């Protein structure tokens, strides 16, 4: 792979500028979920163990280039200190002298990089200033790597650079799933709309052997084939696009797996009266909320024949009882195959991670990416500027 890891760098006595993602949820001045902070610990520990000084760069919220007191990173300091098990020196207005003066056992956190619009503009002046603060640049924020900002891209080009532990782990897992995967590879693409996943489908067709399509977006594909989907969520104006995708998939030898039976209801609410019907029997006044049991069986068979699986999007309205069944049965099968050592499974995206956690399979995927936008752009085959800048 074309980037260095921390192991390739001589960190002793160096100031290691480390881009992290600690954009954690905060309520009443307290961090309510420390997951993102916990995930950067291996990188910080590695830098310190090698005798380097870790200086963290991070954004917090979207202050739009202004100083916004509620978006100060100071609020994260107590949690950082607890998780990292050492003092954290918070520097509001950074300069190299302040960094050099900080105690050698301390980790340094610099105030929200987005308090100036030079960050999101990727202004060379800001990149140059950041570079003057350190000797080595380490990017451990895969989730911010789809943005070309001064702290994710500009500065990387100005210093010897490397990927942090979390970034390397994420890139390694993604490479295994779509870069040089064990075949057959199957993709599960679900969720609400086709329109938000056109680039994704376009990229996957040429890379995977089968795409299982579920959720609201399956309705658009079904309708494009002449199936009446009643009052279901459906982008009828994308019928041509859906047919085009199916034709391209066929030409590329990529199997498209659509539901053969459906769960329908008249009301969008939990425990709404519902029934299982063949896919072409949706009543005119009802909506499709989930895939039916025969579809689940077909999907399980496709997964059983696969060696690698990548998933983005649920198969139904998994937030509402009992319309999570199709998604959960799919996740059960992925978990079974993964735990048996027969499948490499990678899932990502906000709703997908929520569904995986709800189903109790949070530990049963080979890798779960929490990097929403960056994960999607990577699945779309796009170059992530923050990764591309890690030229080694």
- Please identify every residue annotated as catalytic: 36, 193, 350, 373
* Residue 224 beta carbon to ligand AMP: minimum distance, rounded to whole angstroms: 16
Query: Whose Cβ is closer to ligand AMP: residue 154's or residue 314's?
Result: 314
189-221 burial code (b ≥16 CB/10 A, e <16): bbbbbbeebbebbebbbebbbbbbbbbbbbbbb
Nearer Cβ to ligand AMP (289/328): 289
Q: Count the Cβ atoms, other than its own, within 10 Å of residue 296.
A: 23
Q: How far is the CB of 74 from ligand AMP (least distance, A)?
A: 33
Residue closer to ligand AMP, measured from CB, 173 or 317: 317
Least spacing, CB of residue 288 vs ligand AMP, in Å:
5
Q: Is the peptide bond before 152 cis (omega within 30 degrees of 0)?
A: no
Q: Are 238 and 220 in contact (CB under 8 A)?
A: yes
Least distance in Å: CB of 89 to ligand AMP? 39
276: enclosing H helix or E strand: strand 274-278
Choose between 151 and 220: whose C-beta lies nearer to ligand AMP.
220
Give, as ranges, the residues between 139 and 178 that touch ligand AMP (CB under 6 A). Answer: none
375 membership: H or E segment, kind and range: helix 372-379
Residue closer to ligand AMP, measured from CB, 67 or 268: 268
By beta carbon distance, the residue nearest ligand AMP is 191
Residues 6 or more apart whose Cβ sits within 8 Å of residue 349: 191, 312, 313, 369, 372, 375, 376
Per-residue binding letters, 320-359, with ligand AMP (x by CB under 6 A): -----------------------------x-x--------
Q: Is 233 in the site for ligand AMP (CB under 6 A)?
A: yes
Q: Which is nearer to ligand AMP, 142 or 375 (CB)?
A: 375
The site map against ligand AMP for 171-200 (x = CB under 6 A) is --------------------xxx--x----
Quote the tokens at residue 266: 């008249």
Q: Which stretch binds ligand AMP (CB under 6 A): 27-35, 113-121, 270-278, 315-323?
A: 315-323
Residue 137 binds ligand AMP (CB under 6 A): no
Task: Specify the DSSP element, H or E, that contains 308.
Answer: strand 308-312
Q: What is the DSSP letter of 159?
A: S
Phi and psi at residue 204, to the nearest 5°: -70, -35
Among 63, 154, 164, 216, which residue interacts with ligand AMP (rule: CB under 6 A)? 216
Q: Which range in 34-42, 74-82, 313-321, 380-388 contacts ligand AMP by CB under 6 A?
A: 313-321
Q: Which tokens in the block code for residue 137?
A: 């640049």
Question: Which two structure tokens, joined as six digits, stand for 102?
Answer: 């900080």
Q: Among residue numbers 284 through 303, which ones bind ligand AMP (CB under 6 A)?
A: 288-289
CA atoms within 13 A on the CB side of 33: 5
Q: What are 313's two structure tokens?
A: 């999007």
CB 115 within 8 A of CB 108: no
| Interaction of residue 314 with ligand AMP, rule CB under 6 A | yes
**Token representation of residue 371:** 């990097």
Quick check: 261 binds ligand AMP (CB under 6 A)? Answer: no
Least CB distance from residue 354 to ligand AMP, whole Å?
9
Backbone angles phi, psi at 345, to 5 degrees: -125, 130
Angle made by CA atoms 61, 165, 126, in degrees to the nearest 5: 45
259 binds ligand AMP (CB under 6 A): no
Beta carbon of residue 26, minimum distance to ligand AMP (angstroms, whole number): 24
In the bound complex, what is the minimum distance in angstroms from residue 117's beta carbon to ligand AMP?
A: 29
The stretches of 102-227 forming alpha helices (DSSP H) are 117-120, 124-133, 165-174, 198-205, 216-224
Binding region for ligand AMP (CB under 6 A): 191-193, 196, 215-216, 233, 288-289, 313-314, 316-317, 319, 349, 351
């Amino acid at each position: 792979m074309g980037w260095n890891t921390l192991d390739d760098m001589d960190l002793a006595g160096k100031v290691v500028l480390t881009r992290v993602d600690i954009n954690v949820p905060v309520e009443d001045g307290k961090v309510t979920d420390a997951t993102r902070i916990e995930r950067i610990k291996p990188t910080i520990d590695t830098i310190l163990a090698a005798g380097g000084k870790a200086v963290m760069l991070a954004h917090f919220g979207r202050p739009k280039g202004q100083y916004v007191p509620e978006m100060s990173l100071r609020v994260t300091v107590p949690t950082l200190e607890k998780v990292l098990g050492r003092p954290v020196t918070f520097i509001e207005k950074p300069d190299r002298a302040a960094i050099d003066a900080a105690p050698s056992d301390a980790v340094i956190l610099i105030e929200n990089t987005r308090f100036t619009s030079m960050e999101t503009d990727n202004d060379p002046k800001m990149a140059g200033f950041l570079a003057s603060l350190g000797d080595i640049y380490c990017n451990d924020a895969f989730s911010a790597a789809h943005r070309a900002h001064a702290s994710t891209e500009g500065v990387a080009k100005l210093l010897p650079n490397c990927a942090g532990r979390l970034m390397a782990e994420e890139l390694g897992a993604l490479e295994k799933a779509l870069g040089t995967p064990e075949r057959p590879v199957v993709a599960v693409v679900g969720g609400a709309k086709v329109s938000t996943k056109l680039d994704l489908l376009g990229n996957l067709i040429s890379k995977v052997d089968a795409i299982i399509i579920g959720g609201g977006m399956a309705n658009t594909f079904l309708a494009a084939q002449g199936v009446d989907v009643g009052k279901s969520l459906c982008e009828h104006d994308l019928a041509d696009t859906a047919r085009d995708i199916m034709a391209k998939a066929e030409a590329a030898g990529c199997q498209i797996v659509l539901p053969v039976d459906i769960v329908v209801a008249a009301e969008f609410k939990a425990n709404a009266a519902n029934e299982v019907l063949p896919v072409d029997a949706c009543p005119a006044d009802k909506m499709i909320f989930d895939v039916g049991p025969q579809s689940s069986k077909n999907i399980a068979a496709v997964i059983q024949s696969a060696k690698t699986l990548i998933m983005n999007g649920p198969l139904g309205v998994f937030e509402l009882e009992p319309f999570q069944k199709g998604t959960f049965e799919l996740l059960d099968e992925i978990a079974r195959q993964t735990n048996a050592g027969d499948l490499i499974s990678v899932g990502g995206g906000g709703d997908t991670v929520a569904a995986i956690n709800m189903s109790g399979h949070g530990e049963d995927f080979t890798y779960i990416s929490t990097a929403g936008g960056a994960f999607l752009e990577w699945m779309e085959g796009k170059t992530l500027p923050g990764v591309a800048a890690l030229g080694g």
